Amino acid sequence: MTRRIATQAGRPDIPITVGCSGRSTREVIAEAKTAKEAGADFALVLVPSYFHFAMNKDSIVAFFEEAADASPIPILIYNYPSVVAGLDVDSEMLDRLAKHRNIVGVKLTCGGIAKVSRIAATYSPDKFSALAGQSDWLVPALSVGSTGAITGIANLYPKTCIQIYNLFVAGKVKEATALQLELAKMEWGFAKGGINGTKWVVARLRGYPQESCHCRRPYPKYDNATQQEWIVGVVGALEATERSIAKGST
């Protein structure tokens, strides 16, 4: 569907990355093959964590290597310890995996800016890229060699995210930093609000039906009025900035 919509919008060239995670290597490979058939260009892959107690460094590296061997599309490592029982793909593991011909980068939702600098010091971006996993540290990441960010915030405030990147690469670091600080304050709403708070406030700000914003059970509803008022104030604070950015500037 994403590929079809991009084509209808006149942008068939936009690269599409699809989350391809599962509880086993076999599941992940099957997901990657399905993603390829659907028109995806890259697979974003988490470490399987159901049996996290058995996953040592060698088994994590072997998982990514085996998945990459069989995947018909290049793999991006998704390092997000908070959702995989604390399993972290550290710098040594990333260095080993970066040498695989079908592993092209990593999304660092661990916030590991030191990993960005170590990767940038060793590999050119066309070989292996380090991407920030949140937009609230986009400028710091770019300053030590990141190629950008994969961030949920861009779904709500795309112009702001793109403007920060464009300002930085144009050498306007002071302006990029000022906008980064605005975005960082807003992103705390997503971080503290969680998935249910994020979905609720996006529905509120964009006029989507409220019944469409609830997470699958047993994830609780975001229905506390005090919390709702707080998150609208924090996240909505960037609305004026987003509207002020001209379309041509992004």
Active site residues: 107
Taking the C-alpha atoms of residue 195 and residue 36, their distance in angstroms, rounded to an integer, is: 28
Phi and psi at residue 129, to the nearest 5°: -110, 145
Q: Do 110 and 80 form a contact (C-beta atoms < 8 A)?
A: yes
Residue 98 identity (one-letter amino acid): A
Residue of 242, 2, 245, 212 whose CA lies nearest to 202? 212
Taking the C-alpha atoms of residue 221 and residue 177, their distance in angstroms, rounded to an integer, is: 35
Residue 190 C-beta-side C-alpha neighbours within 13 Å: 19
Residue 120, both tokens = 């940038």
Q: At what angle do helices 225-235 and 173-206 cross, to 10 degrees?
A: 140
Taking the C-alpha atoms of residue 191 and residue 186, their distance in angstroms, rounded to an integer, is: 9
CA 38, 128, 101, 53 torsion-angle sign: negative
222 Cα distance to chain centroid: 23
Q: Do 104 and 76 form a contact (C-beta atoms < 8 A)?
A: yes
